[in-house]
A and B are shown apart, each in its own frame.
Chain A
Amino acid sequence: MNDQELRGHIETLSDRLTGLEQPLRTRYYLTCEAEQVYEICRFLFEDVRARFVIATVIDNDDNYEIVYHFAVDERGTVINVQAFLRDRDHPTVASITPFLPGAEWIEREMHDLMGIHFEGHPRLERLILADDWPDGVYPLRKGGAS
């Protein structure tokens, strides 16, 4: 796969995206709404054969943003999928763990620390907070626990 083919692959996603930027040859920023995450990540992982690196969650005051980082090692390219969760009271997004087991722990961590609910996650239990940590307190939310 050369760079044009990769760009072509990513452009087939464009009806699911709200934005597509390529500031460098080796860097893509895809923005989307939370509902589209499952299909976009499935496409990148299974069809483009991109490697899942990690995911990050950001508290943006009026929404939550999850950034899924994928790498296409063959081209040295990094693809960031920025998904916006607009419902602040019940931030929910589809889990990508069913087809991508490597995402299990990072999704559990995001659930622990930010209170994001991952629908379809096989085991959404506490991962890194203390055993006696109170339920419903999410320490990394703004105006959080400490």
Chain B
Amino acid sequence: MSWKRWSLKRSPWVFHVNTGACNNCDIEVVDCLTPRFDVERFGIKLVGSPRHADALLVTGGVTRQAAPRLIRAYQQAPKPCVVFAIGACACDLGIFHSGYHMVGPVDKIIREVDPHAIIAYVPGCPPKPEAMISGVVRALAAL
């Protein structure tokens, strides 16, 4: 294992990208940071810029307006970077499946620019904080 991956698994800093979510997943992401779950004790920290991030937490199916912005955030994140598709919409568009303003689930947009991107899926509407923590643990274990 390269030292980069080793260090990534110790304390993944995450950047939160909302690409058209209804805010429900975002609230659950914030829940992960509250004292009940307190993911900072594992070194998981929400940062303010994708340039500081080891992982992107993407919520919401990707809208036409948000797709270029998601790609820009992904390109600015240092690699290796794990992309977490949080929630049913981010995983497979959910109820917005045939919406005119949707261009695709998160993995499709990310794979267009990086076919070898590491993408983890946390389904649910919204996923529980436990599910998100479990998703992060499993993704890091798989690295």
Q: A residues near B, CB below 8 A?
A: 129-133, 139, 144-146
What is the number of residues of chain B that contact chain A, defined by CB distance less than 8 Å? 7
Bound Cα distance A146, B97 (Å): 11
Q: Is the CB of A146 within 8 A of B64?
A: no
Decide: A146 and B100 in contact? CB cutoff 8 A. Answer: yes
> Is B48's beta carbon under 8 Å from chain A?
no
Measured between C-beta atoms, what is the minimum distance from B21 to chain A in Å? 16
Query: A-side binding surface: helix, strand, loop or mixed?
Result: loop
**Residues of the A chain whose Cβ atoms lie less than 8 Å from the Cβ of B64:** 130, 132-133
Instruction: Give the nearest-CB partner of A146 in chain B.
Output: B100
Min CB–CB distance B69 → chain A (angstroms) = 11
| CA–CA, A145 and B99, complex, Å | 10
Least CB distance from A74 to B in Å reads 35
User: Which are the 5 A-B pairs with shortest beta-carbon distances?
Assistant: A146-B100, A130-B64, A130-B65, A139-B100, A145-B100
Q: How far is the CB of B141 from chain A (nearest CB, A)?
A: 38
Closest chain B residue to A137, Cβ basis: B100
- Nearest chain B residue, comparing its CB with the CB of A140: B100
* Central interface residue in B63, B65, B98, B100, by most chain A CB within 10 Å: B100
The answer on a CB contact under 8 Å between B101 and A130 is yes
8 sampled A-B residue pairs with Cβ under 8 A: A129-B101, A130-B65, A130-B101, A131-B65, A139-B101, A144-B100, A146-B99, A146-B100
B96 to chain A, nearest CB (A): 11
